[in-house]
Chains A and B, each alone.
Chain A
Amino acid sequence: MFKKLMMLSVVFMLLLSACAPATTAAPPPATQAPATEAPATVAPTEAPTEAPATAAPTEAPATEAPSGEVIKATPGKELNMVFLPKFLGNAVFDLAHAGALAAAEELQNSAELQFLAPATGGAGTDQIPIITNATTQGVDAIMLSNNAGDQVGPAVQAARDAGVTVVTWDSNIPSAQGEQLFVAQVDFDTLGQVMADMALDILGADGGKFAVLSAGPDSSNQNAWIASLKEVLKDAKYSKLELLDVVYGNDETEKSTQEAQALLDKYPDMKLIMAPTTVGVAAAAKVVQDDNLCDTVKVSGLGLPAEMVTFVKNDCAPEIALWNFKDLGYTTYYAAYLIASGALEPAEGVQFEAGHMGTLTIEKDATRPDAEGALRVVMGPATVWNKDNIDEGVDAFK
């Protein structure tokens, strides 16, 4: 009888988990929070394409006289393109999608842009079936924000072998296997500088101990930024800053909250949590605020102004930084469109025009010295938001 009951409970467990979006039995609703917390501020997809002037914080780089020929896009080509972020239900990816849609409209691509991604909380490798299926469908281009480290490489290579253009954005493939171009939101090396500067700014000249709350352990962008942060910390200027620990919240609100809480318990003398992820920084700020610790422990990192505005104003997270995700999606779409239509052959030094982002130059990706032939194009610097300019930030991301 006992055995039967046990077995029945297993069946019940199975049924429940089969219904959950995650492959693990993690409770799904909490992970959806970031998207629902700020519904009003998530960019409307109908955003007028003339508006990007408001996206000023990212000054269009490299507008000075280009040396060679600048490749321009011919609008009106019909190209089937897939926009594939890390997962669904994250406000920044919705912003990037809006940017890609704006570019699609400018380029008058008559084929509908597909927005596909694994469910929130799934394994990073859940992106692989989507890439394989897109290859089977014979799409022209895939725009990928990679969430599976090098594990996605073989599937991407197979896509390339079948003639599909693959451009990564936001998060690249560390080995660059199959990847034609990486659209970097910001120069990865400067981001460590930005984070270290914010930390020093918040903590003052005396510095202090701090910890990093990252996204998934395999997200290559976060890992690169943390590496650059560690590099910058070696400078004498930052000698008072001591990095205690790096923990991973997997870009899930619940896991990030737990990890932030654990940091507070583990390191009573910690003065700052640095979270280079929008989900993590919001979760950490919430934890610190709820524990009434804002006077002793500060939060900083990469955050969406709309999600962070209250924490910035009540001094729990005095400074945050971010770039414009809409521009990132927009630039990525231009690059993928140019490559897929055959106009652009990515190579070092080649320049192309990406709508209102101006002229961009393809360069060797110095952040991935081990990856052979890794190319990137950098969109622009990050903007630091504080009490004085956060309202502008909220507007800029609308």
Chain B
Amino acid sequence: MLRSLERLKSWEGVLLLLLIAIVIFNSSMTPHYLQFQNQINLFELHIEKIIIVLIMTFIIINGEIDLSVASVMALAGCVMGYLFEKGVPFGWCVFAGLFTGVLTGAFNGFMVAYGKMTSLIVTLSGLIGFRGLAHVLLENRSVGNFPDWFDRLGQKPMVGPFPLAVIIFFVLLIIALIILQRSGGGRYVFVIGNNSEVARYSGVNVRRVKMILFIVSGLISAFAGLLLAARLGSIRGDTAIGTELEVITMVLLGGVSIFGGTGSLYGVLLSILIILNLRNGMGLLNVPGENQTGVIGALLILSVLVPNIGRGIWEVWNQRRVQRIRVGEEEKGG
């Protein structure tokens, strides 16, 4: 336990160093990087993803996974767009969109917690099924022309220079930090992720925790879907396609174990900042799209390899040292 804690600490150290290196590189390479507006753009261009990253961290630490988040984003947006097209008052459309998220989350959660099915399979079918439903609703059309106040939420600064979504992200981040790192509920999340049987016998209501996590995940994904619709000014069936993988990438790069039980939001926050800054820097330096995804891929592979190789070298070196000391002692003794 102690050792894994130490490793975690050092992993966050590595991430922090990487982030600092990227920031220094970016600011020395392009004068636009440090502009205030650019720092806001950097968050805004990926804001929906990083909001979902927060809840995905909970779910993966809990030993589960939610692959359906991007499809829920699209479905919630399409439900909203579909009703709006049919002339339903817009407030109800937004509510229906969010409620869609709660329903999909409850479905996922019920299947996992009470149906005893692997979350990977349940949410994989959600990934396909919810996306399919979204396409059924809007076919190949896109729905836009939402009321002005809704478009403004996503497109214009709200408080000072900050857009609403960016403010919401930081509020949610603080709430998530408090729950996961400081509260009893957060400890349950870790305990279940480590060993759900042990947790169950110690009186933790495992089913309830999982159910709540999936419902919140559905709700937040739906919310993110609506934010995206506000930012782009319209919604389509294929909105946010592939986003789930980028979300999971950020969580894993943040040092959260895919098997559950270990990880921290601090690491995930660092990994979010690393990926956003890296993408922004490459964009400002006009790195072609293909190379950008290549770099992110390489980073993920390195983030898995380097700690392992590092530990391997350390162990070999340690063994040799021990041997040398032994040999030395024997010689002295002989």
Interface residues of A (CB under 8 A from B): 3-4, 6-8, 10-11, 13-15, 17-25, 87-88, 114, 116-119, 122-123, 125-126, 128-130, 132-133, 136-138, 148-151, 153-154, 158, 175, 177, 217-218, 248
Distance in angstroms from B187 CB to nearest chain A CB is: 22
Give the complex CA separation of A153 and B144 in angstroms.
Answer: 11
Residue of A nearest to B284 (CB): A133
Within B235-267, which residues are at the interface with A (CB < 8 Å)? 236, 238-239, 241-243, 245-246, 248-249, 252, 258-259
Give the complex CA separation of A92 and B46 in angstroms.
Answer: 30
Residues of A within 8 A of B292 (CB): 119
Known contacts A7-B259, A119-B290, A150-B233; is-contact A14 B142 (Cβ 8 Å): no
Residue of B nearest to A23 (CB): B242
Q: Is the pair B245, A17 in contact by a Cβ cutoff of 8 Å?
A: yes
Residues of A within 8 A of B294 (CB): 19, 21
Q: Is the pair A23, B246 in contact by a Cβ cutoff of 8 Å?
A: yes
Contact of B232 among A15, A118, A154, A217 (CB under 8 A): A154
Between-chain CB contacts (< 8 Å), 22 pairs: A4-B259, A8-B258, A11-B304, A14-B249, A15-B297, A15-B304, A21-B289, A23-B241, A119-B290, A123-B238, A123-B241, A125-B232, A130-B283, A132-B45, A133-B284, A136-B32, A137-B32, A150-B144, A151-B144, A151-B233, A154-B155, A154-B232
Within B74-100, which residues are at the interface with A (CB < 8 Å)? none
Give the complex CA separation of A8 and B252 in angstroms.
Answer: 12
Q: Does B65 contact A (CB under 8 A)?
A: yes
Residues of A within 8 A of B154 (CB): 154
Q: Does B12 contact A (CB under 8 A)?
A: no
Residues of A within 8 A of B242 (CB): 17, 22-25, 123
Q: Is the pair B35, A151 in contact by a Cβ cutoff of 8 Å?
A: no
Main secondary structure of the interface of B (DSSP, over half): helix
Give the complex CA separation of A88 and B288 in angstroms.
Answer: 9
Q: Does B231 contact A (CB under 8 A)?
A: yes
Give the complex CA separation of A128 and B232 in angstroms.
Answer: 9
Known contacts A20-B293, A136-B35; is-contact A248 B288 (Cβ 8 Å): no
Within B261-275, which residues are at the interface with A (CB < 8 Å)? none
Known contacts A123-B238, A136-B284, A151-B234; is-contact A18 B249 (Cβ 8 Å): yes
Contact of B245 among A14, A119, A150 (CB under 8 A): A14
Q: Is the pair B241, A24 in contact by a Cβ cutoff of 8 Å?
A: yes
Known contacts A10-B65, A114-B286, A119-B290; is-contact A153 B32 (Cβ 8 Å): no
